[in-house]
């Protein structure tokens, strides 16, 4: 018999079911990003504002996905909407340099600790791809290390060891000759990571890593510093992927929060002010390899595309407005996000524990993920532990759909709290988790 929550989901969302049936006829799997698909069919949204989204059947949800964690002020935040309304008539895309991009880059270099120079692109995927190319070019070495389970977009070099089983190829069409130089480390395994860094020492171009692991598992005390230090000692570059954490874990991102000074950092999401953005920022001497005026012979400089739509006006204007807003309101925003994140994590854990169900709600600051371990004692240091010791189906199917049915849009058992999430929203998220826990305990 079909599970009760699935029946309820289908009853509430016939319009989504119809749209999904149409979508599968014209798009592979009905989607343009695999993570947007889930069984039995995804929700189709028709409107978003502040902390809410509404589906095509008129159901309202507190949104925790927040545009892939991009909307730190919520959907359609007033400062961004206001400036874009004024500026949109100037055009969206000139394809010719202008002051907006200069001013935005200046602000980034002023605020983000590692940023001496910036190159803008349109997606995080591009940014991480170019950061690896820069590292290889700068060091003249081949091996790049990434974290097992780490998602940096689906660029070729980094499409390695993303999902279990980690040792199988992530995709057809990836040339082994390219991916063989992408080697892996385990998040929060300081000793093993140092050993791996030393193993590739003389051919190590760098390490690309997020400061917070998959499942938003926080870093153990010395892990990030050790990775940064040992990578440098071996002559490699320390690349911090701040696509999610940038301007979210603090105004200065994870580098500000954990006192890191990466050679290169990649950013996007929050910093785009809700518009498409991906950028590489970092040390001048490395970034200048991409300069058309470097004077380097062909093949010595680094080709960084940027692309037709790089520096589109809305991204530059919305992004800069966002950055300046976050700077002006730093003292109010980050402690508030921290507190809301803490309360949600605690509320969800308490809800399940009160029914005797093992649960772990990971996260840092405003980010959180709920998972369902087999017991309270199992180790959960990284994605490998989590994939082995937690019930993914419970999280991605049962918990998700039960929370949907109660008007909370979660992703991976959690999401990102924004400034638009009110006290009442936090209370409703926790209440939905309590009702879900009650149902799951039966
Ligand atoms: C850490 C990280 N790096 C890179 C990317 C890729 O960014 P984009 O989706 O903008 O291409 C993502 C996207 O989710 C990400 O989370």
Q: Is the CB of 272 under 6 A from ligand 1?
A: no
Q: Residue 306's pLDDT is what?
A: 85
pLDDT of residue 2: 82
Burial class (CB in 10 A: 0-12, 13-18, 19+), 50: buried
Residue 273 confidence (pLDDT): 98
Regarding the beta carbon of 68 and ligand 1, being less than 6 Å apart is answered yes
Q: What is the pLDDT of residue 1?
A: 76
242 pocket-lining for ligand 1 (C-beta < 6 Å): no
Instruction: Return all residues near 289 (Cβ < 8 A) that are at least 6 apart.
Output: 134, 137, 138, 296, 301, 302
Q: Tell me, using a 6 A CB cutoff, whether residue 74 lines ligand 1.
A: no
Distance, CA of 75 to CA of 79 (rounded, Å): 11
Query: Would you state the structure tokens that stand for residue 73, as one six-digit string?
Result: 């002020």
pLDDT at position 263 is 98
Q: Give the ligand 1 atom nearest the CA of 68.
A: 14
278 lines ligand 1 (CB under 6 A): yes
Distance (Å) from CA 127 to ligand 1 centroid: 9
Q: How many angstroms does the Cα of residue 298 sit away from the middle of ligand 1? A: 30
Residue closest via CA to ligand 1's atom 2 equals 152
Cα(154) to ligand 1 centroid in Å equals: 9
Bridge partners of residue 52, in order along the sequence: 49, 62
CA 111 to centroid of ligand 1, rounded, Å: 21
For residue 152 and ligand 1, the question of a CB distance below 6 A is answered with yes
Please give the number of the atom of ligand 1 that sits closest to the Cα of 33: 9
Q: What is the pLDDT of residue 97?
A: 97
Ligand 1 nearest-atom number relative to CA 269: 10
Give the residue whose CA is nearest to atom 9 of ligand 1: 124
- What is the per-residue pLDDT for 305? 87
d(CA 411, CA 413): 5
Give me the pLDDT at residue 233, please: 98
Tell me the CA–centroid distance for residue 8 and ligand 1, in Å: 33
The tens place of each residue's pLDDT in the chain, 442 residues long, gives: 789 999 999 999 999 999 999 999 999 999 999 999 999 999 999 999 999 999 999 999 999 999 999 999 999 999 999 999 999 889 999 999 999 999 999 999 999 999 999 999 999 999 999 999 999 999 999 999 999 999 999 999 999 999 999 999 999 999 999 899 999 999 999 999 999 999 999 999 999 999 999 999 999 999 999 999 999 999 999 999 999 999 999 999 999 999 999 999 999 999 999 999 999 999 999 999 999 999 999 999 999 988 999 999 999 999 999 999 999 999 999 999 999 999 999 999 999 999 999 999 999 999 999 999 999 889 999 999 999 999 988 999 999 999 999 999 999 999 999 999 999 999 999 999 999 999 999 9
The per-residue pLDDT for 89 is 85
Place of tokens 């180790």: 379
Residue-range domains of the chain with CATH: 4-75+331-440 (3.90.1150.10), 78-328 (3.40.640.10)
Give the per-residue pLDDT at 223: 98
- Find out whether the beta carbon of 16 lies less than 6 Å from any atom of ligand 1: no
Q: What is the pLDDT of residue 120?
A: 98
**Positions of E strands within 372-426:** 408-409, 415-416
Atom 7 of ligand 1, nearest CA residue: 124
The rounded Å distance from CA 124 to ligand 1 centre is 5
- Rounded to whole angstroms, the Cα distance separating 396 from 38 reads 8
Angle, in degrees to the nearest 10, between helices 423-440 and 330-353: 20
């Amino acid at each position: 018999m079909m599970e009760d929550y699935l029946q309820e989901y289908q009853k509430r969302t016939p319009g989504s079911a119809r749209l999904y049936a149409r979508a599968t006829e014209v798009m592979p799997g009905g989607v343009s990003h695999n993570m947007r698909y889930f069984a039995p069919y995804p929700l189709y949204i028709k409107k978003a504002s502040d902390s809410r989204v509404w589906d095509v059947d008129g159901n309202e949800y507190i949104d925790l996905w927040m545009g892939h964690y991009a909307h730190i002020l919520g959907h359609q935040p007033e400062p961004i909407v206001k400036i874009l309304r004024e500026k949109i008539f100037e055009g969206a895309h000139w394809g010719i340099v202008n002051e907006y991009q200069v001013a935005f880059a200046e602000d980034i270099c002023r605020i983000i600790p590692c940023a001496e120079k910036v190159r803008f692109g349109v997606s995080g995927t591009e940014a991480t791809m170019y950061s690896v190319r820069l590292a290889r070019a700068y060091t003249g070495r081949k091996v790049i290390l990434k974290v097992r389970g780490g998602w940096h977009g689906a660029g070729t070099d980094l499409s390695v060891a993303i999902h279990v089983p980690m040792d199988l190829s992530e995709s057809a069409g990836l040339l082994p000759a390219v991916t063989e130089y992408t080697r892996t480390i385990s998040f929060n395994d300081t000793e093993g990571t140092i050993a791996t860094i030393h193993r590739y020492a003389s051919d190590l171009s760098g390490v690309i890593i997020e400061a917070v692991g998959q499942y938003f598992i926080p870093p153990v005390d010395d892990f990030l510093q050790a990775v940064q230090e040992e990578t440098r000692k071996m002559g490699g570059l320390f690349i911090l992927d701040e696509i999610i954490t940038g301007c979210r874990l603090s105004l200065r991102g994870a580098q500000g929060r954990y006192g890191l000074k990466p050679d290169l950092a990649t950013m996007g999401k929050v910093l785009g002010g809700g518009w498409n953005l991906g950028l590489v920022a970092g040390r001048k001497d490395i970034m200048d390899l991409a300069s058309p005026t470097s004077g380097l012979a062909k093949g010595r400089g680094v080709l960084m595309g940027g692309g037709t739509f790089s520096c589109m006006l809305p991204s530059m204007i919305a992004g800069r407005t966002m950055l300046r807003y976050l700077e002006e309101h730093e003292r109010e925003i980050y402690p508030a996000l921290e507190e809301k994140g803490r309360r949600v994590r605690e509320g969800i854990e308490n809800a399940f524990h009160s029914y005797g169900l093992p649960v772990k709600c990971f996260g840092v600051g405003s980010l959180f993920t709920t998972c369902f371990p087999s017991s309270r004692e199992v180790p959960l240091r990284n994605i490998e532990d989590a994939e082995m010791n937690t019930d993914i189906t419970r999280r991605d199917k049962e918990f998700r759909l039960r929370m949907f049915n109660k008007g909370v849009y979660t992703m991976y058992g959690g999401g990102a709290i924004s400034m638009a999430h009110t006290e009442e929203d936090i209370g409703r998220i926790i209440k939905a988790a309590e009702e879900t826990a009650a149902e799951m305990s039966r």
